Amino acid sequence: MRFLYVAPRYHTNQMDIMKGLIEHGHEVCFISHYAAIIEDYSYVTPIVLGYSRLYRLLDYLYVHVIHRKDPEAIVFKIQHGFPPMRRLKKLICDFKPDVVILRERSVYSMAAYLVCRRKGYPCILYNQNPLWSESVKTDLAHRIVARLSPKLRMTPVMGIRKQGTSIKENDYFVPFIMEPQKAPEERTYFENDTIHILCIGKYEIRKHHLLLIQVIEELVGKHGRIKLTLIGEATNHFQKEYCGQIRQYVSEHHMEDIVTVKTNVPRSKMEAEYLAADLYVIPSTREMASVSQLEAMSYSLPVICSDLNGTACYVEDGVTGYQFRDCDQADLKEKLAMMLSDREQMKEMGAAGYRALTEKYNYENYYRTIMQMRDKLLQ
């Protein structure tokens, strides 16, 4: 079959999906708005279509003039950028997809949906809004967006079942997938009698690198030897500035022997980082849906993440790791101390995470659900 994806970028959370599709004989075309610095094209090389000339001018004014001091301004294009329509239409029609997966209810995706709808290509909306969600808004703007978007939606975020939330008829939970890398019996732990903690995330304030360093600082000497490795992207001005603040804090607090700060590590070298670690921690807030905890689980690592992380459901509290209260430094310290105090439990949690990965977060489950959605659309 021919699978077409249209998304802002070729994100690492799509890597194992692309691998599974290609290895099972399917053809994949991936159209992205832009390319990031660190991407892996081992299985699929995306077509970076970009934006129309008019939007590129508008985006320059928005990012570099009107909101030049706002680090979040660069994401404006994800929702509002529009494509070069002639080139987009030609790419879609030449490929003749059997199923189309469009990322977000964005102007870009709406443009692609209009082309696909006219041609009769079945389209699925992919976003990271929770499966358990509140009632859909029915004002004019939301009705227009809904009409210009695919009717079926998939999300890797389960959300929280509570009063006022429900699962809509056309919504499906399709979790991220990850191939297992190292079973617990195939790897070693606690090299040099040290607990190595790994944290991966762009150098942005909301990722809470400093919060984690401060917690580690308070725990040093209480649970044996500890080392922390931070790995993240630092490509724009804001990321480099924040990374500099982290390095300065480490230096001023004389933690150079405890904390290692790395930037822009290529994906090809990440396996060595996971195999050198004993514990994976995601301290960030406002995390829509991180895939890195699955990657850590694929290397048999226990995980600690925020309870408001969109994919916190992938970490079973007390079984494959711990969830701490979002932005709560004291609770993060408590959960980290619980983990560090019992090395055998850490290894058991890592093994449990590896088993969960193989059972729940695999290609077969992803493909089966996509086909169910496609069949529903065709019916």
Taking the chain (379 residues) in runs of 10, the rounded mean pLDDT of each run is: 97 91 97 88 94 94 89 87 97 98 97 97 97 91 94 96 93 96 97 97 96 97 95 94 98 98 93 98 95 96 96 96 98 98 97 97 96 95
Give the pLDDT score at 71.
81
pTM, 2 dp:
0.89
Distance of alpha carbon 106 from alpha carbon 80, whole angstroms: 6
- Domain definitions of the chain by residue range: 2-177+362-378, 184-360
Q: Do domains 2-177+362-378 and 184-360 have the same CATH topology?
A: yes
What pLDDT does 12 receive?
A: 82
pLDDT of residue 219: 97
With helix as H, strand as E and coil as C, how does the chain read?
CEEEEEECCCCHHHHHHHHHHHHCCCEEEEEECCCCCCCCCCCCCCEECCCCHHHHHHHHHHHHHHCCCCCCHHHHHHHHCCCCHHHHHHHHHHHCCCEEEEECCCHHHHHHHHHHHHHCCCEEEECCCCCCECCCCCCHHHHHHHHCCCCEEEECCCCCCCCCCECCCCEEECCCCCCCCCCHHHCCCCHHHEEEEEEECCCCHHHCHHHHHHHHHHHCCCCCEEEEEEEECCCCHHHHHHHHHHHHHHHHCCCCCCEEEEECCCHHHHHHHHHHCCEEEECCCCCCCCCHHHHHHHCCCCEEEECCCCCHHHCCECCCEEEECCCCHHHHHHHHHHHHCCHHHHHHHHHHHHHHHHHHCCHHHHHHHHHHHHHHHHC
User: At the top level of CATH, which class does the domain 2-177+362-378 belong to?
Assistant: alpha beta
- The rounded distance, in Å, linking the Cα atoms of 33 and 55 is 12
Pick among 3.90.650.10, 3.10.580.10, 3.40.50.2000, 3.40.50.300: CATH of 184-360: 3.40.50.2000
Q: What is the pLDDT of residue 73?
A: 85
pLDDT (0 to 100) of residue 37: 77
